[in-house]
Amino acid sequence: MQNLWLIPALPFIGFLINGIFGRKLPKVAINAIAVLSVVLSFGLVVGVGLSSDWGTNPVHQHYFTWIKSGAFEVGWDFAVDKLTMIMLMIVTGIGSLIHIYATGYMAHEEGYYRFFAYLNLFMFFMLNLVLAANYLILFVGWEGVGLCSYLLIGFYFVKKSATTAGNKAFIVNRIGDFGFSLAMFLIVVSFGTLDFAKVFEAAPGKSVEVLTAIAMLMLLGATGKSAQIPLYVWLPDAMEGPTPVSALIHAATMVTAGVYMCSRSAAIFTHAPAAMELVAIIGLLTAVFAATIGMTQYDIKKVFAYSTVSQLGYMFLGVGVGAFSAGVWHLMTHAFFKALLFLGAGSVIHACHGEQDMRHMGGLRKYAPWTMGTLACASLAIAGFPFTSGFFSKDAILGAAFAHAPWMFWVGVITAGMTAFYVWRAFWMTFWGEYKGHGHPHESPWSMLGPLVVLAFLSIAGGFLFNVPKILESMFPIKEVEGEMTLTAISVTFGLLGIGISYYMYVVNTELPGKIANSLGGFYRLVYDKYRVDEAYDTAVVQPLVEGSTTVLWHGVDQGVIDGIVNGVGHQSKGIGGVLRRIQSGNIRSYATWVAVGAVALLIALGLGGGVR
């Protein structure tokens, strides 16, 4: 068996070389290092996948003891089972494509080396996350990808909005990590270890209360990383980062870490039904909520960002209703079509010289046919068009949701309709009609189109090629759902309806959207303003904290009360102060003498005190 550590180590080496020497290297060298390190890592993953023994006997490798205190020990351990294998394939496969794409997309940017160094560092941490054999090593990756996300969102660091978005992402994720950390503390308290194998083996024997508490704390962690209510607010802002980053980190890989973590912890979740229910409800709520916002946005990346939030909600719905493998399936297909949507959006933005507002696009089908063709594939997949990748995975989730609670299915189906609507709305607005932007739009270079074509193929055929529930059957048994054909028919109908309505509104009768918006008035504004959640958080949390810390704690308690007392005492002993001031201008010997005299005086005083005792 190969050494698993090489898989993350390669991108890490790429990070070190480009990070330290990149400024002096030619672009060709930077490209070669950045791309090759990830592609080689992908090769290693394939190698591990092809070696026959991992499926039946999960591989476990221990490298060194990371933390040891008393009986508690955490090793730097990696393990591979089928779930990890799927994640490894997605991360390194999509990662390779996006690295290649980025060499074209970022070609004219300043700080080229820095970008690829961060991207490689991200790969390192993400691979650590999925290879981890215990919660703490997973957490290393978890926090590490958060760091890279922060660095890449704020890549254009001269721009204040970019660095503010980076801070927001980091801090909101820290709130989630707060939950994750507490979950780990509770696991150690009740299990005495953080090793997956040991924890999952012992989980059935633990009380439901403890398991529920652990699962809910983990869920808080997952809502941060995977942008679910109430912590989703950072993801839309994260679009400040370069588009390849949005595709890789904020669509295909990092944001799915929460789904991965919950699936990984299935042994805990399945014994905590209340937590499962909460996962499903949060997922479903987020899916609907984000979809409504997505229908009103004009910034093409913002549309896809809310779409990501919404689709992640689907995955959580799957996990919550017990269909873990369906959730992971959607994680995979979503990685295909959402990465493609973002890369396609990047190509569109590239074509329009940096414009992101869809109202200033249109008619691009003439100028960027390859971009259009590939984006159409992604849009069909996300709309659940029959036999595309998204069709299979969404169907599996909705079927399981119906078996769990029919109302969840119905809400899910309506959301599917909205999804089809907003994605195709974006499609029509960019590619149909007349070009309304500035300059001459142009098609992107082949370094960018190549990955688009590969992803387009996967978006169409990916669900068919990789039947994740079948692959994971030994870990997550498949439950048959009655009347599946009917359910499928219903969800496909809603998807087609969404596409049809968007065609009517944005191609046939383009006056209509404005009229509808006007007739909805205040409600439309509210949705358009993203329900003003950011503003509410600011007023309810951020401002009071900052104001309170300034006036009450700093000026009030610190300078007012405590220093008031201290200075009061100091004032009383002004005599001593005077002596001190004289000493300050004097020399060392006089001071030392003074200390000695003081010490002797104290000795005498205390000697007398001792006598009194």
Partner 1 sequence: MNLLDLLIAIPAIGFLIVLLIPRPMENFIRLFTLGFSLLTFVVSLGMVVGFQNGQAGQQFVTNVVWIQNPEIHYHVGIDGLSLWLIILSTFLTPIAILLSWNSIKERVKEYFALLLLLEFGLVGVFAAWDLFLFYVFWEVVLVPMYFMIGIWGHDRRIYAAVKFFLYTMAGSVLMLAGIIFLYLQGGTFDYASILDQLSSGKIVLNHLQETLLFLAFFLAFAIKVPLFPLHTWLPDAHVEAPTAGSLMLASVMLKMGTYGLVRFCLPMFPTAARENAPWIVILAIIGIVYGALVAMVQPNMKKLVAYSSVSHLGFVVLGIFSFTQMGLDGAVYQMLNHGISTGALFLLVGFLYERRHSLEIADYGGVATAAPWLSTLFLITTLASIGLPTLNNFIGEFLVLQGAAQVHFSWSIFASLGVILSACYMLWMYQRVFFGELSDEVRHHMPELNAREWACAIPLVVMMVWMGMYSQSFLPAVSETNAKILDQGKMTAPVRAMAQVNGGNANAR
State which residue, 8 or 283, has the beta carbon closest to partner 1.
8
Which one of 27-35, 53-61, 264-272, 605-613 is the stretch in contact with partner 1 (CB under 8 A)?
Answer: 605-613
Q: In the structure encoding, which two tokens stand for residue 504, read together?
A: 């009517």
> Which residues, 508 to 547, sit near partner 1 by CB under 8 A?
545-546
Measured CA to CA, the distance from residue 362 to residue 461 in angstroms comes to 28
Report, in Å, the least distance between residue 612 CB and partner 1: 11
Residues 6+ apart with CB under 8 A from 120: 11, 12, 14, 15, 18, 34, 37, 38
Q: Are 149 and 129 in contact (CB under 8 A)?
A: no
- Show the beta-strand stretches assigned E in 174-328: none
Nearest distance, CB of residue 527 and partner 1, angstroms = 30
Does residue 208 touch partner 1 according to CB under 8 A? no
Write out the binding residues for partner 1, residues 353-372 only, by CB under 8 A: none
| Cβ neighbours of residue 221 closer than 8 Å, sequence gap 6 or more | 142, 176, 177, 179, 180, 183, 258, 261
- Kindly state the smallest distance separating residue 169's Cβ from partner 1, in Å: 10
For the chain, the 3-state helix, strand and coil shares in percent, each to the nearest 5, are: 80, 5, 20
The 3-state secondary structure of 380-406 reads HHHCCCCCCHHHHHHHHHHHHHHHHCH
Q: What is the smallest separation between the CB atom of 188 and partner 1, expressed in angstroms?
A: 6
Under 8 Å between Cβ of 124 and 12: yes
Burial 250-287 (b: 16+ CB within 10 A, else e): bbbbbbbbbbbbbbbbbbbbbbbeebbebbbbbbbbbb
First to last CA, the chain: 75
214-243: which residues touch partner 1 (CB under 8 A)? none
Q: Which of 563, 590, 593, 597 binds partner 1 (CB under 8 A)?
A: 563
Q: Which helix (H) or strand (E) holds 417?
A: helix 406-431
Query: For partner 1, what does the binding mask look like between residues 144 and 163, x meaning CB under 8 A?
Result: x--x--x---x--xx-x--x
Of 440, 532, 581, 582, the one binding partner 1 by CB under 8 A: 581
Of 272, 367, 282, whose CA–CA distance to 318 is shortest? 282
105 binds partner 1 (CB under 8 A): no
607 is an interface residue for partner 1 by CB under 8 A: yes
Nearest CB to partner 1, comparing residues 175 and 278: 175
Contact status: 186 vs partner 1 (CB under 8 A) = yes
Please, what's the b/e burial string for 365-396 (b: 16 or more CB within 10 A of its CB; e: otherwise)?
bebbebbbbbbbbbbbbbbbbeebbbbbbbbb
Look up residue 241 and give its DSSP letter. Answer: S
Of these, 208, 465, 541, 566, which contacts partner 1 (CB under 8 A)?
566
- For partner 1, the binding residues in 45-84 under the rule CB under 8 A are 64-70, 72
Residues numbered 540 to 559 that lie near partner 1 (CB under 8 A) are: 545-546, 548-550, 553-554, 557-558
- Is 576 strand, coil or helix? helix
Q: Name the burial class of residue 567, with classes exposed (0-12), middle (13-18) and buried (19+) by CB atoms within 10 angstroms of its CB.
A: exposed
* Nearer of residues 512 and 553 to partner 1, judged by Cβ: 553
Does 174 contact partner 1 by CB under 8 A? yes
**Does the footprint of partner 1 cover residue 570 (CB under 8 A)?**
yes
Query: Is the Cα dihedral 428, 433, 439, 443 positive or negative?
Result: positive
Which one of 31-39, 345-353, 489-497, 568-576 is the stretch in contact with partner 1 (CB under 8 A)?
568-576
577 touches partner 1 (CB under 8 A): yes
Binding region for partner 1 (CB under 8 A) out of 312-320, 489-497, 533-541, 600-608: 600-608
Beta carbons within 10 angstroms of residue 336's beta carbon: 33
**One residue of 474, 573, 590, 593 binding partner 1 per CB under 8 A:** 573
Could you tell me which residues are beta bridge partners of residue 74? 67
Pick one of 167, 193, 292, 356: the residue that binds partner 1 (CB under 8 A).
Answer: 167
Select from 165-173, 281-289, 339-347, 469-477 the region that touches partner 1 (CB under 8 A).
165-173
Binding segment toward partner 1, per CB under 8 A, in 40-48, 78-86, 164-172, 373-381: 164-172
Angle between helices 257-264 and 135-153 (to 10 degrees): 170
From residue 52, alpha-carbon distances to 42, 46, 89, 134, 474 in Å are 17, 11, 16, 24, 16
Examine residue 612 and tell whether it contacts partner 1 (CB under 8 A). Answer: no
Which of 3, 51, 107, 189 forms a contact with partner 1 (CB under 8 A)? 189
* Residue with smaller CB distance to partner 1, 155 or 466: 155
Residues that bind partner 1 (CB under 8 A): 23, 64-70, 72, 136, 139-140, 143-144, 147, 150, 154, 157-158, 160, 163-164, 166-167, 170-171, 174-175, 177-178, 181-182, 184-186, 188-189, 545-546, 548-550, 553-554, 557-558, 562-563, 566, 569-570, 573, 576-577, 580-581, 584, 588, 591-592, 595, 599, 602-603, 606-607, 609-610, 613
